[in-house]
Structure 1
C-alpha cells in the first residue's frame, strides 16, 4: 500500500498518436524514483496505445483521445480515455508489464479503480481543453475544427 503522502509529479506531453482513425494525445507521468533517462520512447508508448484499442469502438466516439502512461512507485499504469458523444469520456485502465521485450497490458485486478490523484488532475486539464475548444466554441466553428483545436492543446508541468 502507498503511504499517505503527496509529492508533485512531472507530466510531459510526448506526441499525438495518429492511427486507426484516431488522434490520441500521449502523456508521461513519473514518480521521483525514475529519471528522464528511464522514460519509455515514443514507439513503446504507441505500442501501448495500439494494444489498448483492440475491440474498443463505439458509434458515438470522436476521433479524439488522450493516454497517460504513469511510472508510479508501485508499478506502471496505462490509461486511455476517448471522447464520446458531446460530453462523455470512455475510459480504460491497465497495468503495464515492462519486464519483457514485448510490453503487455493487463486489466487491473480491481476493475473499479479509474485513476490516481495525479492522473485525475491531468484528466481535469483535458476536460477543460474539451470544454474550451469543443463545447464552448462558437456555433459556426465546424466540428472538425473544434476537434483539431482540442488536439492542439496539451499540458506539461507538475501534477
Structure 2
C-alpha cells in the first residue's frame, strides 16, 4: 500500500517513437529515488510498448498517442494510451518486472480498474490539452502528418 503523502516527481519527454504502426510520445515519470536511473535502450521500450498496442488495436484507433514509463515507489509501470474515434483515449496499463532487460515481464493492471495515479494524471491533463489545441480545435478532415506535427512537438517536462 502506498503512503498518504505527496512529493513531486520528475517528468521528461523523450520524443516520438514508432512502435508497430503507431506513433507514441514517450514520457518518463520518476519518484525521487529513481531520478538518476537511465532510460532503458529504445529496443527494450519498443518491445514493451508493443504489448500494450496489440491489446488496443481497433479500427477507429488513430494509431497515435503517448506512453508513460513510471518508476514509482512501489514498482515500475508502463501505460500505453492511444487516441480513439476523434476524442476518446484508450489505456493499457502494466506493472513491469524489470525495464532494463530485453524481454520484461508485463502484468496487466486491467483487473484493478485503476485509471492512473496522481502523478500520471498531470501528464494526462497535458496530453488532453495538447490534443484539443493541436488537433480538435483545428477541425481537420483527417489526421495528416501536418495536422499531427504540433501535437508530436508538444511534450511535458518538469514535475508532476
**Shared fold (TM-score, shorter chain, > 0.5):** yes
Deviation (angstroms), 1:73: 0.6
The alignment's C-alpha RMSD in Å is: 2.0
Partner of 2:8: 8
**Alignment partner of 1:20 is 2:23:** no
Question: 3-state DSSP class of the match of 1:40?
Answer: coil
Question: 3-state DSSP class of the match of 2:28?
Answer: strand
Partner of 1:96: 96
**Number of residue-to-residue matches in the alignment:** 158
Deviation (angstroms), 1:43: 2.7
Structure 2, unpaired ranges of 5+? none
**Alignment partner of 1:123 is 2:155:** no
**Given the two structures, how large is their TM-score scaled by the length of structure 2?**
0.89
Q: Greater share of helix residues, 1 or 2? A: 2
Q: Give matches, 1:1-159, under 5 Å.
A: 1-98=1-98, 101=101, 102-108=103-109, 110-137=111-138, 139=139, 143-144=143-144, 145-159=146-160
CA contact 1:77–1:95 (8 Å) conserved in 2? yes
**Given the two structures, how large is their TM-score scaled by the length of structure 1?**
0.89
Deviation (angstroms), 1:142: 5.4
CA contact 1:84–1:90 (8 Å) conserved in 2? yes
Q: Deviations over 1:55-112 (max 9, x none)?
A: 4311111121100010001000110110001110011111001088421111127431
Equivalent-residue separation in structure 1 for 2:155 and 2:14 (angstroms)? 10
Structure 1, unpaired ranges of 5+? none
CA contact 1:133–1:149 (8 Å) conserved in 2? yes
CA contact 2:56–2:91 (8 Å) conserved in 1? no
CA contact 1:11–1:27 (8 Å) conserved in 2? yes
